[in-house]
Amino acid sequence: MGAITRTLANNITTGGVILPSGINNTSISNVTSLPAGVGGKVLQIVQDVNSTSTEIPTTNTYSTTNLSASITPISTSSKILVLAQFAGFVRMDTTSTGEVTVGLFKDSTNIYECRNITRTADNASTYYAPTFFSMNFMHSPSSTSSLTYSAKAKCDSAVHSFFINRDDTSSSLILMEIKG
């Protein structure tokens, strides 16, 4: 038995390195799932990166951030991992507290919200507070139709504006289809 193993090993390796002749593409392409308990397989990734400076006004209703991406799931059991990040500034007046909310939307439905509460520095006539949002959300759309995910933002009345991608920053939205 040892001689057979040694002969097979010598045919596919040299000094512990697998030779190209020892790699079988058929066996690699036949891998269709991970062992139980390991988790899902990433089936596809879509990304949108936006560096356009955008001002979100004080309306307390959602405004576009110009950040969106579309994905068509392969299976209804797939999940979509949505990753989004924004950088910008909130403009406020003296000694106030304001709130900026970023919402993740699937088509026109708000599926997740993240809020950032900012307080101005005392005795500042106008205050620009650096603001950063980072969101992770796992969505189960149960669909094989094209889905558009987007990020929108809104400011409450204490915030004059939320400036996204100001001073050479950029925002990103990443969609990852995970096998269900």
Q: pLDDT for 118-169, tens place per residue?
A: 776 665 667 777 888 899 999 999 999 999 999 999 988 777 788 898 877 8
* Per-residue confidence (pLDDT) for residue 1, from 0 to 100: 46
SS3 8: helix
- Which of 61, 113, 66, 60 has its CA nearest to residue 88? 66
* Per-residue confidence (pLDDT) for residue 127, from 0 to 100: 74
Helix, strand, coil fractions of the chain, as percent rounded to 5: 10, 55, 35
Contact 149, 138 (CB under 8 A): no
| CA–CA dist 83, 108 (Å, integer) | 18
* Per-residue confidence (pLDDT) for residue 146, from 0 to 100: 97
| Segments of the chain scoring below 70 in pLDDT | 1-39, 94-95, 120-125
**Residue 66 region, left (φ>0) first, then alpha (ψ -120 to 50), else beta?**
left
What values do phi and psi take at 31, rounded to 5? Answer: -75, 115
* Per-residue confidence (pLDDT) for residue 151, from 0 to 100: 94
Q: Is 143 exposed, middle or buried (0-12, 13-18, 19+ CB in 10 A)?
A: middle
* Per-residue confidence (pLDDT) for residue 4, from 0 to 100: 44
Domains of the chain: 1-31 (no CATH), 37-178 (2.60.120.760)
Identify the bridge partners of residue 98 per DSSP, sorted by sequence position: 118
Identify the bridge partners of residue 136 per DSSP, sorted by sequence position: 83
* Per-residue confidence (pLDDT) for residue 48, from 0 to 100: 96
CA distances in angstroms from 75 to 5, 36, 109, 112, 173, listed in the order given: 42, 19, 21, 22, 22
CA distances in angstroms from 15 to 5, 9, 125, listed in the order given: 15, 10, 72
